[in-house]
Structure 1
């Protein structure tokens, strides 16, 4: 599996197990050590990962960081861990102290669910108060996975990550400001916009009016933007489906003389129709035969396969079902009666198409 698959697998593990994790130590073992491992580091190799590394702070000796990821004998990433249910806002000062006495360029504060990444963008060798990247592993976006991948052992480069960190930090802060202005426009923001369309003096009464107009304008613009994107996506999908339909039909015409529809295939078609009678008007259920399989479709549309029968093999027969993503799964059957065992699959497939 690649990094994306591994991190998503870990996310599923966190969702499944977190309610049964009762201690900080269990959080480390179940969530954080696997996370470090997903980044390509061997948690059992002290040359790569040092647990409980000593970080002496001024007069306070013997202070320890939970994990230090090492390179060439020096720490490059410090990780401070908390129980998964703890609020990380109560614990960032501890990581700041460790970071400031270490040679590490990056610090991570985590409870195994949320990961906050820090560096020293504002003042050298002094950890920034705000993280440049924060991810909730149970709600990962593809862009965040790409940022996490930069910390993988195979790709890690300090300069590259620092360059990305600066951009992420300021983009994050700008997005936060924009979101705040969009939901509750400040008077300064409203005045700036209103002066673009109104030449007179902006009185208190006018400011209130323009505040409401600004809210409505923002909302309207976002809705139109979403609508346009959806229309564009649907148009693209429709064109693609039409193109694929044309290709499939042409292939069927070319292969038509080589296809023999058997009585067994026709019988399977009638069994499927009888199963689907409770879910759909069976006049919408049709079949198309091909050289390698016998297809049963909804609305005579090759983009809406209900199932396929593979009866051409000498020794084995299969029925293939489809999920909501049109992924095909073959099931071996010993007789046509076994088709009834897949009634739920067939009915669900109809539901996917009609609900869509």
Structure 2
């Protein structure tokens, strides 16, 4: 299979495993080791993968890192695995920091099986950065993410290429963070820079204060215009319905809706890559779409009213209602879900 197909197959495995592989050891066996295999390693060859790798660090004796991955005679990747239920933002991975320096590795990898974070030493040589330069989400990725991930394949490994990409991704993340901050609350210097492009008068402090809300509104309007340009008209029994914009504060995606989405993804994964199954929430229902396209509806989750039901669409876009008592009852619609997904794949 191609690398893209290997990752899609791994994503299917991850979706199936997340309900049962709740311990760290189960996560390693079900997802992490298959992930290393996708990266081109023979997980049963001790010259490539060293499980429970031990390297004494200062006063810390006998500590173990989950996997050390060798390319040639050198350890290039250190992998620390957490259970699939662990939120990586809350994870403790001090061992990965310590081992990174001791082993002189180039890449540190932290994963819970579903999310994979990549670290290197952009800030200081041989000292792992506090923030990952690349994050890969097995439940939600695109072709650009795949291209970045493929750079870590054993056959493609070139540390110079990875470090160059890491640097670019770091600056991209920094630029996005800056723009997001200015969007939320533009500072005086930023407002002056923007205003020079359209304001002909003197930019006094009072003028800048007057222009601040205008610049902030310009961000909002520009985003809405671009989002609106990409949004198709929703199909609902022959009636057109506008999709709410992302700033609609009345929309809240519930835990049950997320669970329903994951179940539909798991069902659809049998006939299509999971990356093509998308969620888009609205006030009255939660839409599950193919390729995030409103003209390709798969199902709608109606969990906000007194009665709960799922609408599954057919080949002619007709919706069939299925009443459910529990979210798991969506599995009873598996046949219809796979049928509609097949029509979009074909």
What TM-score range do you get, normalising by the shorter chain?
0.5 to 0.7
Task: Give the secondary structure class of the aligned counterpart of 2:219.
Answer: helix
Q: Matched residues in 2 for 1:92 and 1:348: separation?
A: 47
Instruction: Report 1:103-114 matches (<5 A).
Output: 103-114=104-115
Q: Deviations over 1:261-307 (max 9, x none)?
A: xxxxxxxxxxxxxxxxxx99xxxxxxxxxxxxxxxxxxxxxxxxxxx
Q: Matched residues in 2 for 1:24 and 1:228: separation?
A: 44
Aligned twin of 2:59? 59
Count residues with an aligned counterpart. Answer: 245
Q: Say if 1:12 and 1:202 are closer, same or farther in 2 by CA, change over 3 A.
A: farther
Q: Matched residues in 1 for 2:195 and 2:94: separation?
A: 43
Aligned twin of 2:202? 200
Aligned twin of 1:342? none
Aligned twin of 1:16? 16
Instruction: Report 1:1-356 matches (<5 A).
Output: 1-89=1-89, 90-198=91-199, 199-204=201-206, 206-226=207-227, 348-351=314-317
Q: How many Å apart are 1:197 and its aligned residue? A: 3.2
**CA root-mean-square deviation:** 2.9
Task: Give the secondary structure class of the aligned counterpart of 2:217.
Answer: helix
Task: Give the secondary structure class of the aligned counterpart of 1:61.
Answer: coil
Q: Matched residues in 1 for 2:172 and 2:153: separation?
A: 23
Q: Matched residues in 1 for 2:18 and 2:224: separation?
A: 37
Q: How many Å apart are 1:226 and its aligned residue? A: 4.5
More displaced stretch, 219-228 vs 11-20? 219-228
Kept in 1: contact 2:192–2:203 (CA 8 A): no
Task: Give the secondary structure class of the aligned counterpart of 2:45.
Answer: coil
More displaced stretch, 21-30 vs 83-92? 83-92
Task: Give the secondary structure class of the aligned counterpart of 2:13.
Answer: helix
* TM-score normalised per structure 2: 0.64
Q: Deviations over 1:280-336 (max 9, x none)?
A: 9xxxxxxxxxxxxxxxxxxxxxxxxxxxxxxxxxxxxxxxxxxx89xxxxxxxxxxx
Q: How many Å apart are 1:83 and its aligned residue? A: 1.1
Q: How many Å apart are 1:227 and its aligned residue? A: 5.2
Kept in 2: contact 1:118–1:133 (CA 8 A): yes
Q: Deviations over 1:98-147 (max 9, x none)?
A: 10101211111111111111111121111112111112221112111111
Kept in 1: contact 2:28–2:81 (CA 8 A): yes
Task: Give the secondary structure class of the aligned counterpart of 2:103.
Answer: coil
Kept in 2: contact 1:49–1:69 (CA 8 A): yes
Unaligned runs of 5+ in 1: 232-278, 281-323, 326-344
Q: Which has the higher contact order (CA 8 A, sep 6+)?
A: 2
Q: Deviations over 1:162-198 (max 9, x none)?
A: 1111111111221222223224433432233234433
